[in-house]
Amino acid sequence: MNNKKFLHEKVYDEIKDRLLSGYYSTNSLLPREVDLMEEFEVSRHTIRKAMDRLKSNGFIRKIKGTGTFVNHIKPDYDYTLSNMTSFSEIIRKQGGNPNSIILSAKLISPSEEVCNRLSIDPEDPVYYIERLRRNDDEVLCYEITYVVASYCPDLDDYISPKASLYNLYEKKYNLELGDGLYKLEAINAPNDISKILKISINSALLYMDAVIFLNSGVPLYYVKAYYIGSKYRFSTKLTR
């Protein structure tokens, strides 16, 4: 780090990103000042200024004679699995402004994995939709969706930063959505996903793999989503 102006802000931003992404887990001991000085190539004064700001904002706590520890950071968004709710609906319900960065939207031939998940043949085309899901400018999730093309002709023409796929299915194509089969897994961000989400490698992610069916029981789409772990809390209701 060779720009001496605002060095403490750069250190603050980097450590804050690590805290929010789960790179440093709750209640874990942060590296020593001298180790941070060496990593960021800055003075002790710069490290202390950044750490004081992190402490005043509630991200960390200092225990005399022991070290600096990570505080619990409350997730920003709740996702309830007891009913099927779209990303846009979740964000709007919590007062946000959902939108997407469209990385790709095109018609493709399905892979063997996609064929198996959607119960289709290799000759059946699917729409491949790759998006970064956001609230305002805050990236929350990287999502890849495969939609059976025969149910949604020209779907790629209607994909936009503000478009909700749920709304398109139900209102544009008059499809009745049925059940969903979800798998949720805590993972560490691999290199390719961390680059897309601009987070540190091995940051905590919530990976969701789901197949959504029409009311008739036929699969409509298959989605793989990577949620930034520190920003989301998933909950469900279990009965006996």
Q: What is the pLDDT of residue 51?
A: 92
- pLDDT tens by residue, 191-228: 999 999 988 888 888 899 999 999 999 999 999 999 98
DSSP 147-193: EEGGGSTTGGGG--TT--HHHIIIIIS---EEEEEEEEEEEEPPHHH
Q: What is the chain's Cα-based Rg?
A: 21
Asked if residue 163 lies in contact with residue 156, where contact means CB atoms within 8 angstroms, the answer is no
- pLDDT tens by residue, 15-53: 988 887 778 877 889 999 999 999 999 999 999 999 998
Q: Is the pLDDT of residue 2 over 50?
A: no
Query: Looking up tokens 């809390």, which residue turns up?
Result: 233
pLDDT above 90 as % of the chain: 50
Q: Is the pLDDT of residue 237 over 90?
A: no
Phi-psi region of 71 (alpha: psi -120 to 50; beta: other; left: phi over 0): beta
Residue 163 CA to residue 176 CA, distance in Å, equals 18
Highest mean pLDDT (candidates 55-59, 89-93, 205-209, 229-233): 205-209
Sheet holding 138-148, edge to edge: 98-108, 126-135, 138-148, 219-228, 204-214, 177-188
Q: What is the pLDDT of residue 4?
A: 45
Q: What is the mean pLDDT of residues 174-193?
A: 91
Residue 44 CA to residue 36 CA, distance in Å, equals 9
Which of residues 207 and 235 earns the better pLDDT score? 207
pLDDT above 70 as % of the chain: 87
- Which residue ranges form the domains of the chain, and what is each CATH number? 7-70 (1.10.10.10), 77-235 (3.40.1410.10)
Distances in Å between the Cα of 10 and the Cα atoms of 13, 40, 43, 210 are: 5, 9, 13, 38
Q: What is the pLDDT of residue 234?
A: 62
Residue 96 CA to residue 122 CA, distance in Å, equals 39
